[in-house]
Amino acid sequence: MLNCLDKEPLMSKTIADHLAQTLAAAGVSHIWGVSGDSLNGLTDSLERTDSIRWM
């Protein structure tokens, strides 16, 4: 099944990937936080986004 917006398979991206992409599109350049098990998906997605730096 394809996503009607960008023609990618629906499960090709995680919620964390979409969140990182949305933050980057909004111009976010830094995120402050404490990484941990519950945020590993987000920190992995942010690492793949060159424009956002985890502080």
Our count of domains for the chain comes to: 1
Placement of tokens 């502080």 in the chain: 55
Whether 4 maps to a domain, the answer reads no
Domain of 23 in residue numbering reads as 12-54
Buried b (16+ CB within 10 A) or exposed e, 16-48: bbebbeebbeeeeeeeeeeeeeeeeebeebbee
Please indicate, yes or no, if residue 32 is contained in any of the structural domains: yes
- Taking only the tens place, the pLDDT of each residue in 27-51 is 999 999 887 888 889 999 999 988 9
The count of C-alpha atoms lying within 13 angstroms of the C-alpha of 14, restricted to the half-sphere facing its C-beta, is: 12
pTM above 0.75, yes or no: no
What are the tens digits of pLDDT across the range 5-26?
A: 666 666 688 999 999 999 999 9
